[in-house]
Structure 1
Amino acid sequence: MADKVRIISFPGTGNTPIFVGLEKGLFAARGVDVALETTPSSMYQAQKLVAGEFDMACTAMDNVIAYQENAGEAELDREPDLFIIASATQIEVSFVVAPEIESYEDVKGKRLALDALSTGFAFALYRMLDHAGLKADDYEMVSVGSTPSRWEAVQKGAYAGTLLIEPFTGMARGQGYRVLGSTLEEDVFGHYPGQVFTASRNWAAANRGAVVGFLRGWLDALDWISDPANTEEAGAILAANMPQMKPQAIGPAVQKLRDPRTGLIPMAAFDGPGLETVLRLRSQYGPHEAPLTDPDKYVDLSYYRDAVAGR
């Protein structure tokens, strides 16, 4: 019998390996039965994962750190024991603003939409604004929820800007919205990471085969997507799972996924420098009494090593 893995992730093209793995039977071939659900917010994701309603999550690296340091925005029903299993995507997070916003100076006095104010990619936006010379009282941050909710709120004019990922960034550009900055700007961030896989240490230890099987299926999907012969079918699978995307956006989205700077991380290799960046930003902008300086306490790569070794 296949091991069940219930995974919760944010909406976006970064879920394509799961779409492919399910469509092509790659997870089943590795002995796992994967069920994917997208989350309306990082708070919902954290609550449901810690409560045991999901087994794994694909989330911003900072979310794992935040909840392990008791600095998450959501109230949990138990003490979390989350850890980073492997890297997932190196998505580009862009600061997208309304067409009338032409510079960071124009952001002053405006309301900006975030998923949550003290977790996830919030600190990336704080860093962009800080680097541009803005102070915390120059703008108002509001917790709105996941990317589709924030994008809808900006379109309605409730907020002047937000952070978006693909395909939403491309949709915004196509409608005349402006990108003021992104996490790919090395002079601002050095190196900023994307999303990772996380789970409860207790659940993972009791279900090691399921974790390893999922990772092997994910790696198989990465191999399949990277093969140029599968370009057209990969686009068709993406389109079927994200029908809100316009047909002309599918091809560029697949190409972005194949770029390790903006998409899927080859071999899901762990991003150590990225973790150091997250700890540095969280130490600077987060509610911590002392700097966070021990990256090893948040990571256990033994499952990943087993997955790679068994392929």
Structure 2
Amino acid sequence: MHTLHLHWFVPSPLAVAAEAWALTSSIELHAQRNPSSEAQFEALASGQVDAVVTAIDNVMDWNLRAGPQDLRVIAQLERTTPLTLVGRRDLAALEDLRGATLLVDAPRNGFVVALRAMLAERDITSDAYALEMVGGVKERFDALVAGRGDATLLGPPFDVMAFEAGLSRLASVQALYPEFPGQGLVVSARQLHRLRPALSSWLAELDRARQHMGADPDAARQALAREGFPAPAVEAMLSTTPVSLCPDRVGVELLITQRRKAGLPGADTTYEQLVETSVLPRG
């Protein structure tokens, strides 16, 4: 049996489905929730974990830091990551964010890049708002509900929970950027030889789960519901089932363009420099 240690923000729907359908018999998976992308990078750089499930954009920034500098996206586990910009109940539109404090995971990598790009497209420059680092999606939700900031990007199930708490929907990343890609599985290239048997087995199991989810969405719905996800979040997760585990070129290139619009370093990278597909199941 192979062993794989990883971090993620919330359990991947594909992984939940694979476990529910007993498709993971060849993998001993040690997965834990992490509080931020900074914690993910530190865990990867130190060798504490083998891989992380994270926003693909993170790799562009992480590879500029002191550390491995060889991180690669080896699979895309969601078609897209549903992201809604949620704000105080008295806010109504993106234009209301001039002078706002935006709660983020990190100031220059991850989902914040999409937020910074959408604001830049409305001539709201980076000096017109403040960014406060609070951590991953759960941490951002908690901080927003507690009144520590004015707006943040949230995904399922926290966006639904925010609306139930009376907060406002300001914008949808998917409505503005239909090709926005979902989270990827990221590893260090120099570790691929050691990890290849475990990663190949796990990705094959996730691919079988992907096919099952497409063929029997009701069973997948029940599996996700048993994990405690509310019904609206379950539907959002099912809608993100990827058509392939191969990172989408159009989506990755959108992230590069957004990084360029936001004026952030790392925008000179390419799909080929970010993505490694040799571990993906064939056929």
Distance 1:174-1:132 versus aligned 2 partners, 3 A rule = farther
- 13, 21, 26: which is aligned to 2:23? 26
- 50, 56, 69: which is aligned to 2:51? 56
Residue 40 (str. 1) matches residue 27 (str. 2): no
Q: For the residues of structure 2 that align with 1:135 and 1:208, how far apart are their CA atoms?
A: 43
Residue 142 (str. 1) matches residue 116 (str. 2): no
Aligned amino acid, residue 274 of structure 1: G
Following superposition, the deviation at residue 253 of structure 1 comes to 2.9
Residue 252 of structure 2: aligned partner = 275
Following superposition, the deviation at residue 103 of structure 1 comes to 2.2
Which string of whole-angstrom CA distances, capped at 9 and with x for unpartnered residues, describes residues 8-54 of structure 1? 11126xx12212222332121xx222121111000001110221111
Which string of whole-angstrom CA distances, capped at 9 and with x for unpartnered residues, describes residues 107-157 of structure 1? 222211001001101111101222233222221111110111111111111
TM-score, with length taken from structure 1: 0.84
Higher helix fraction (1 or 2): 1
Q: For the residues of structure 1 that align with 2:223 and 2:30, how far apart are their CA atoms?
A: 16
Q: For the residues of structure 1 that align with 2:132 and 2:257, how far apart are their CA atoms?
A: 23
> What is the RMSD computed on CA atoms of the aligned residues?
2.0
CA contact (8 A) 1:50 1:80 kept: no
Instruction: Give the ranges of 4+ consecutive aligned residues of structure 1 lying more than 3 Å apart after TM superposition.
Output: 233-237
Residue 295 of structure 1: aligned partner = 271
Shifted more, 81-90 versus 202-211: the winner is: 202-211
CA contact (8 A) 1:118 1:286 kept: no
Q: Which runs of 5+ in 1 are unaligned?
A: 71-75
Distance 1:195-1:269 versus aligned 2 partners, 3 A rule = same
Residue 73 of structure 1: aligned partner = none
Aligned amino acid, residue 110 of structure 1: A
Q: Percent identity?
A: 25
Distance 1:291-1:196 versus aligned 2 partners, 3 A rule = closer
Residue 88 of structure 1: aligned partner = 77
Q: For the residues of structure 2 that align with 1:33 and 1:294, how far apart are their CA atoms?
A: 34
Aligned amino acid, residue 208 of structure 2: D
Aligned length: 282
Residues 118-267 of structure 1: pairs in structure 2 closer than 5 A: 118-186=108-176, 189=177, 191-228=179-216, 231=218, 233-241=219-227, 243=228, 245=229, 249-250=230-231, 252-259=232-239, 263-267=240-244
